[in-house]
Amino acid sequence: MDEQGKTSGEGWRERLAAERRRHILEAAARAFARKGFAQTTMKEIAAEAGIAPGTIYLYFKNKEDLLISLPSLIAEETLADAMAEVGSLQDLMSPADLEATLCHLIRNGIRRMIQHIEVFRVLLSSVPVMDEETREVYLRHTPLYFGSALGQIFQTYVEQGVFRDMDLTIVARALIGMIFFFVLVQEVLPGQRVMPLDYDDVAREITRLFLYGALAQPDETANTEEES
């Protein structure tokens, strides 16, 4: 019992420390997102977290460690969810199902990026400057990361004749690029005069563009007009 008590006590300790760590990291994410990594001082982060500057160093080695640790804010769970959703594309051979599922996937992807928009922002301005190793860690938490998984699934579509024959590496990355760019323009470059678009519309249009392309199909024209 004594030992249990200790253990549970220490578990409590650890949990508290983990919470504290996360609390600081979230404060840092907000601060970095606001002014950029280099422009943010440890004092500001401390103030944002409501603690003393020195305390940060009890949980993080140094300022860069905060940056490196940021991706951990995006729970593994989130990444797993996203990957699972990508997996749900498997075995959908009917275009109608495909469109619905893909649209849903894109919508959720956008939602997740916006949910972690602060990390995303910091990522964007920091990644070009990072060393190889850190960058790798960062990119694992990025939509970019899902490219190969998407490509593999599309491969089955091609094999089944649902998709035409094409370079799937390129096509998968193109799809991600579209999604990425919308979030980039609207959420990361804020306050500009670009008219903000509704993400449901965006998801729907991207889905169609990807699936059907832009050209009018002689036999589809009627349908398209009926739909809209």
Partner DNA sequence: AATGAATGAGGGTTCATTCAT
Partner DNA sequence: GATGAATGAACCCTCATTCAT
Enumerate binding residues for a second copy (CB under 8 A). 33, 35-39, 95, 121, 124-129, 132, 135-136, 139, 144, 154, 161-167, 169-171, 173-174, 176-182, 184-185, 188-189, 191-192, 194-195, 197, 201-202, 205-206, 208-217, 220-221, 224-225, 228
Closest CA to 180 of 144, 132, 225: 144
Residue 84 touches which of DNA, a second copy, none (CB < 5 to 8 A by kind)? none
Number of Cβ within 10 Å of residue 144's Cβ equals: 14
**Given the complex with a second copy, which of 84 and 194 has the nearer CB atom?**
194
- Residue 121 lies near DNA (rule: CB under 7 A): no
Stretch that binds DNA, among 46-54, 93-101, 140-148, 190-198 (CB under 7 A): 46-54
Q: Is there a contact between 53 and 43 (Cβ–Cβ < 8 Å)? A: yes
Q: Per CB under 7 A, which of residues 59..88 are in contact with DNA?
A: 59, 62-64
Tokens of 117: 């928009």
Provide, rounded to whole angstroms, the least separation between the CB of residue 21 and a second copy: 20
- Residue 54 lies near DNA (rule: CB under 7 A): yes
**Integer Cα distance of 16 and 5 in angstroms:** 16
What's the maximum distance between 2 C-alpha atoms anywhere in the chain?
79
DSSP letter, residue 188 = I
What's the sign of the alpha-carbon dihedral 43, 49, 55, 57?
Answer: negative
- Residue 40 lies near DNA (rule: CB under 7 A): yes
**Given the complex with DNA, which of 54 and 213 has the nearer CB atom?**
54
Provide, rounded to whole angstroms, the least separation between the CB of residue 1 and DNA: 19
What's the number of CA atoms in the CB half-sphere (13 Å) around residue 36?
A: 8
